[in-house]
Chain A
Amino acid sequence: MLFNSLSFAVFLPIVFFLYWFMPTKTRAKQNLLLLASSYFFYGCWDCRFLFLLIFSTLLDYYTGLKIESATSQNTRKFWFWLSISVNLGFLGIFKYYNFFATSLAEMLSGIGLQVNPWTLKVILPVGISFYTFHGLSYVIDIYKKRISAEKNFVDYSLFVSFFPLLVAGPIERATHLLPQIKRNRQFNYIHAIDGLRQILWGLFKKIVIADQCADLANTIFNDTTSYNGSTLCLGAVLFAFQIYGDFSGYSDIALGTARLFGIDLLRNFAYPYFSRDIAEFWRRWHISLSTWFRDYLYIPLGGSKGGTWLKIRNTFIIFLVSGFWHGANWTFIIWGLLHALYIMPSIIFNTNRKNLATVAERKILPSVKDLVSMILTFSLVVFAWIFFRAESLAHAMQYISGIFSESLFRMPQKQPKVLVALIIFFLIVEWIGRTQQYALASFGIKWPRLLRWTFYYCLIAAIFYFTGPEKQFIYFQF
């Protein structure tokens, strides 16, 4: 069941009404309803993988309790490593086994040894990377004694499986979400309206921006040799807006949906394309994953406390792992490494926390310096996206060599005027709302109701006009 489907438009109101209007409403009943709804939501993809999700939940719940109750350090370690290895084992089998098997075979054939790799015909369970990371952070936090193990199985299961975040995040933390699950929730008009507004903006990003960019970006990426440099450049820029609209649109719908149930999820995006350097970009892009890697990988490795070389090593490790998290393909690894290289100057010269405030705060327009910085950062990000989008390294290299040719200065073969106008409109709204949680939170909020509603109707009309057969969200594959 996709957020941009009619099924979800039917499912959500039903769950909403049952949740708030159930007879003799209690928190336990509400949590049970949300858990059942989440399993139904997930089961709509493939019921078989529901068992994997429940097994993963049971494992982390049980090992969490065992770690907490263990009297000796060895027992604690045993349960901890059992959970970590089983979680990573599942992720490895479903996501990475074929990659390692074929990569090894290719490496061996390079030195003259012909090996027929034994690959598995497995389908990647939707959201496995996300719910595995939920479970890992929970177990690590218990092991490090940051939190207590959750005793209530329904509450813990809901923390892992809450349907708005189940398949593509945000990657939640037990310290943030579990207390909300255990608290009585009151309906709040302002929050609910805000949630609906965020859902509307998320749908606009997904259907009007991402899906329209996808059509053209796919055409260009799928037939690289037929296009000149400027068209390939356009294709890469469109992919940048596609992936942003797609993923941040998903996150907006997830956050808005959760808010309808009185739950606040972690923010995942903060206008990353208005960043002035790569370090700022990574504070604004897929925030829940970046902070996850910071807290559970970068800091345990020593973080930035052990001198420049250690910082450089740790930075490369987290970007490499981050690339690999996205998928078993060398293209993702190169994408991660490119970002590590981009961020290196700010790590070495200690300028990575230079741009902490929102760009051009309390100003209408950015300064020339900020504008140049933003364009430069965006260009670097777009260049890296080429690797992310390409089917293989060879495809990426072919694409890049196509861009950097004399034809870069010719007119693009595709001139999507309507799409460019939509992107400009989108950027204007995002720029105006850049200090808010999401762009529409402030845009038009002080207008008279008639005007504001007319604007929302226009957004709905645009969503309706551009809607078509449902398109998957990109991050479902991760």
Chain B
Amino acid sequence: MRKFLTTLLFFAIPVIFAGVAFEILLRNIPNDYSYKSHFLDKNARNIEVLFLGNSHVYYGIDPKFIQAKNFNASNISQPLDYDLKILEKYQNNWDHLKYVVVPVDYFSLFTKLESGIEAWRVKNYDIYFGMYSDYDPAHYFEIVANQTKYNLERLRKFYFYGQSDLKIDSLGWGTGNHSQNSMNLLESGMVSAKRHRKASEERFLKEQISVLHKMADFCKKRNIKLILFSSPAYKTYVKNLDINQINRNKQILNAFSASDKTVQYYDLLTDSRFDSVDFFDADHLNEIGSKKLSLIFDSIIKSEPKD
């Protein structure tokens, strides 16, 4: 046995060394998650309006159009339970927080990050936000979350050309969806709707509704208003969704906001203020649309009675 363990140790040393070095180098590349985590560590106490949620907020809310001190803490595919985890992580720091704005979209109540094709993103919360999501060790390492080919490309871009993984501005808005590069709205509508229909599973509904309740309780205890909304989307996306699930979502959210005075719900899914020029693809806004949506929320917040 001793011979076996010695041989194994000698054989494994270079492999372990290479793995550790690779992991450290990858973690040193600045990315959206590390930036947002550091920002909240330093500035959570000053924030008045916090935007959470998925890519619809990540690309759709540009904080510079909102007067109050605010931050866009959303991330691509960030589900409701991770929104709650971010709120809870900084629970002792929200000294000035008055509004939490969270999208509840077609798929929000019917998906979980860990179960879908975006499960690889869980590691970002564990590594950069210091959360403890589950027992899967793969969720705590950069090297196993993505294809090594992709990770090598990240290393090359950062260490040879200085290009980091940051795709946001200083207040957390995703700058990648520019109107000049807009996608075909007909095709993207069909593709995204199909993907979101396929990803939706009934088994997550109960758990995500319970997350909404926890979020509402969290906000109520701290005198924070919770604003929920359905993100605007183009008609080619909406018409390809399951109408029953859309109606069910509306019903749940209307009932939820009606039963709790501290919660407001805005249904912007088919809002007529948004037109084709506002969309990068059928369910994401470009910089024109994000300005529009940000100003809508600015006016909602301004219209709120001051305490």
Contacts and interface: CB of A to CB of B under 8 A. Distances in A.
Nearest to B144: A6
B1 A468 contact: no
B148 A6 contact: no
Contacts of B138: 5-7, 470
Interface in A172-198: 187, 189, 192-193, 196
Interface in B111-127: 119-120
Nearest to B7: A193
A349 interface: no
B10 to A, nearest CB: 9
Contacts of A10: 137
Among B119, B144, B150, residue most surrounded by chain A Cβ atoms (within 10 Å): B144
A465 B149 contact: yes
B4 A6 contact: no
Contacts of B146: 468-469
Contacts of A192: 4
B4 A193 contact: yes
A468 B3 contact: no
Contacts of B149: 465-466
Interface string A443-466: 000000000010011001000111
B202 to A, nearest CB: 10
Contacts of A456: 11
B259 interface: no
Contacts, number: 46
Contacts of A460: 15
A20 interface: yes
Interface in A385-435: none
Contacts of A465: 148-149, 152
A468 B137 CA distance: 15
Contacts of A468: 146-148, 150
Contacts of B136: 6-7
A467 interface: yes
Contacts of B266: none
A460 B147 CA distance: 15
A189 B120 contact: no
A123 to B, nearest CB: 11
B1 A20 contact: yes
A20 B11 CA distance: 20
Interface in B149-204: 149-150, 152
A469 to B, nearest CB: 6
Contacts of A5: 138
Nearest to B140: A6
Contacts of A464: 148
Interface residues of B, number: 22
Interface in B130-144: 136-138, 141, 144
Interface string B1-34: 1011001100100110000000000000000000
B1 A467 contact: no
Nearest to A457: B14
Nearest to B120: A469
Contact of A467 (B11, B120, B147): B147
B15 A457 contact: yes
A187 B3 CA distance: 11
A196 B152 CA distance: 27
Contacts of B4: 187, 189, 192-193
Contact of B148 (A189, A193, A453, A467): A467
A196 to B, nearest CB: 8
Nearest to B143: A464
A358 to B, nearest CB: 31
A467 B150 CA distance: 10
B195 to A, nearest CB: 15
A196 B137 CA distance: 22
Interface in A1-31: 5-7, 9-10, 20
B144 A467 contact: yes
B18 to A, nearest CB: 8
A268 to B, nearest CB: 26
Contacts of A20: 1
Interface in A142-199: 187, 189, 192-193, 196
Interface in A119-150: none
Contact of A466 (B14, B120, B144, B148): B148
A5 B7 CA distance: 24
Given A6-B138, A10-B137, A189 B11 contact: no
Contacts of B152: 465
A189 B4 CA distance: 6
A416 B2 CA distance: 45
B282 to A, nearest CB: 22
A196 B8 CA distance: 10
Nearest to B150: A468
A189 B3 contact: yes
Among A187, A453, A464, residue most surrounded by chain B Cβ atoms (within 10 Å): A464
Interface string B28-48: 000000000000000000000
Interface in B57-111: none
Top-3 shortest CB links A-B: A468-B147, A6-B138, A6-B137
Given A5-B138, A467-B144, A469-B119, 12 more contacts: A6-B137, A6-B141, A7-B137, A10-B137, A189-B1, A457-B15, A465-B152, A466-B147, A466-B148, A466-B149, A468-B147, A470-B138
14 contacts: A6-B136, A6-B141, A10-B137, A187-B1, A187-B4, A189-B1, A456-B11, A457-B14, A460-B15, A466-B147, A467-B148, A468-B146, A469-B147, A470-B138
